[in-house]
Each structure stands twice: as structure tokens, then as C-alpha cells.
């Protein structure tokens, strides 16, 4: 587990990357229905890719896509900040 934590921390080093941890005690939180992938095409069209147990699909409807972006924003606001997340992982490694 320690090596996995170190590898996650390596991914946080580039300036364009961030990592946020959702603490277990912060439930219920948005996005408990499963993972989503927010996409944007070169033409700036926003889409959402969803996977469920036996299906996957692409959401193109602007109103639905907007709802998923709002959920993502809420999820980020409920999680630890990127700095807090890194401090938590360093603390687990004993390297605070």
C-alpha cells in the first residue's frame, strides 16, 4: 500500500495534475451512482460517458451534460482540497 500511495503522490507533482480524496465520513455525497467521464471535443462540445453494470453510454443532451458538470463541481467541493489530500497521504506514509 505504501508504494501505491507514493505512486499517487508522484502523479500530483506536475502542475497540471491534481488529486482529491473524498473522506469516508462525508457521505452521502453526490456521484454515488457510479463513475462518470466528462469529455470535451476539439470543437468544445461537452459530453459525458457513463458505465453501469451491463451498459455504457454517451450523454449528449446539453441539459443533462450540464447537470453532470454541476455534480462534478459539488463532488470537488465536498472532497478534501488537493493540498489537504497530499498532506493526508504524506501523513499515512509518516512523511508529514
The residue extents of the domains of the chain are 1-21+81-96, 30-78
Longest dimension (CA), the chain: 47
**Using an 8 Å Cβ cutoff, are 72 and 38 in contact?**
yes
pTM (2 decimals)?
0.76
Cα–Cα distance measured from residue 66 to residue 74, given in angstroms and rounded to the nearest whole number: 12
Q: How many whole angstroms from its chain centre is CA 47?
A: 16
Query: Over the stretch 49-87, which tens digit does the pLDDT of each residue have?
Result: 998 888 899 999 999 999 999 999 988 988 999 999 999
pLDDT of residue 85: 95
pLDDT of residue 96: 60
pLDDT of residue 60: 96
Query: Over the stretch 8-61, which tens digit does the pLDDT of each residue have?
Result: 999 888 878 888 998 888 777 666 777 889 999 999 999 999 988 888 999 999
Omega before 71 within 30 of 0, i.e. cis:
no
Cα–Cα distance measured from residue 63 to residue 69, given in angstroms and rounded to the nearest whole number: 10
For 40, the enclosing helix (H) or strand (E) is: strand 36-40
Amino acid at each position: 500500500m505504501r508504494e501505491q500511495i507514493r505512486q499517487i503522490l508522484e502523479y500530483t507533482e506536475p502542475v497540471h495534475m491534481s488529486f482529491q480524496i473524498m473522506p469516508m465520513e462525508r457521505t452521502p455525497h453526490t456521484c454515488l451512482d457510479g463513475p462518470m467521464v466528462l469529455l470535451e471535443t476539439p470543437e468544445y462540445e461537452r459530453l459525458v460517458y457513463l458505465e453501469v453494470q451491463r451498459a455504457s453510454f454517451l450523454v449528449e443532451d446539453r441539459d443533462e451534460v450540464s447537470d453532470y458538470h454541476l455534480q462534478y463541481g459539488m463532488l470537488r467541493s465536498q472532497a478534501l482540497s488537493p493540498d489537504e489530500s497530499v498532506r493526508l497521504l504524506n501523513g499515512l506514509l509518516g512523511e508529514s
